[in-house]
Amino acid sequence: MTFAFDPKSDLPLVLGGNVFGWTADRADAFAVLDAFTDAGGTQIDTADVYSAWIPGNSGGESETILGEWIASRNNRDRVFLGTKVGALGDLANLKADTIAQAVDDSLRRLQTDYIDLYWAHRDDADTPQEETAAAFDALVKAGKVRNLGASNFSPERLASALDVAKAAGLTGYVAVQPHYNLLETSEYEGGVGKVAEQHGLACWPYYGLASGFLTGKYRPGTDVDSARSGSVTKYFDDRGWRTISTLDAIAAKHGASVSAVALAWLAQQSTVLAPIASARNSEQLTALLDLRGLELSEEELRDLREAAA
């Protein structure tokens, strides 16, 4: 598909910044970011709320680390940067005043004067969509934001938001960010994915590795020390292990990591521009970088979907 924006990347991967200031400190984050861009990556995703859930944090920690890295490397023109509004404390809404304040806060932390892709982090049913659309459009007209995206919207509300913006001649969403991976297909493909296909919206799916399960590090009878390990046990069944087995076989055939094969499957779905995946250290990133140049055959794509069914 042809999308409304081009991140000019040689690597079909969005580096998730949710771990920066959480499981990755400043030094580790800088090392990961350097290795990612050295490998041809350009797309980076964060949010103002990352990582407000950590005791002692207030939000904006990930943006701050990213801003310090961009300033120290003087490479703003070589990264395609996305961040979000609508989930942080008193700014957890999509009111016009909130959007105006939040974008300036993010720009300050990121040490930049524009955001490539600004996301509504989640829908806000209590604010008229006309108000939200006008506020976002004002940011685009002011040059603070270049593209708009919608994360965690229902298909009905996404379609409505697109209609509202079009009717008023305002800048509309050009991207979606849903929960979508090899083991979680039905909700996206049967809902927001249809709207994205109809309107030519680019997809940056999150949880592309199913909270780490699709890295292959979880095996029957093994324990994994991970901040997310509690959220993957739902995949510990015949379907999950069958999917890992199929990933193993395809990864061995290509000489690639299991993670890269799982992301390649996602990257080759029709609406997906690039999946999001995070790495808390350079070792984890190395496995993701196998995605570069990895093309799965139609048979492999089908085998993976059948294994995960």
Active site residues: 50
Half-sphere exposure (Cβ direction) of 214: Cα atoms closer than 13 Å: 29
Beta bridge partners of 15: 44, 277
The answer to whether the bond into 51 is cis (omega within 30° of 0) is yes
Burial 133-164 (b: 16+ CB within 10 A, else e): bbbbbbbeeeebbbbbbbbbbebebbbebbeb
Residues 188 and 202: their CA atoms lie apart, in Å, by 13
Beta strands in 182-304 (DSSP E): 202-203, 276-277
Half-sphere exposure (Cβ direction) of 255: Cα atoms closer than 13 Å: 2
User: Checking phi first, is residue 225 left (phi over 0); if not, alpha (psi -120 to 50) or beta?
Assistant: beta
Residues 197 and 219: their CA atoms lie apart, in Å, by 35
Q: Are 263 and 236 in contact (CB under 8 A)?
A: no
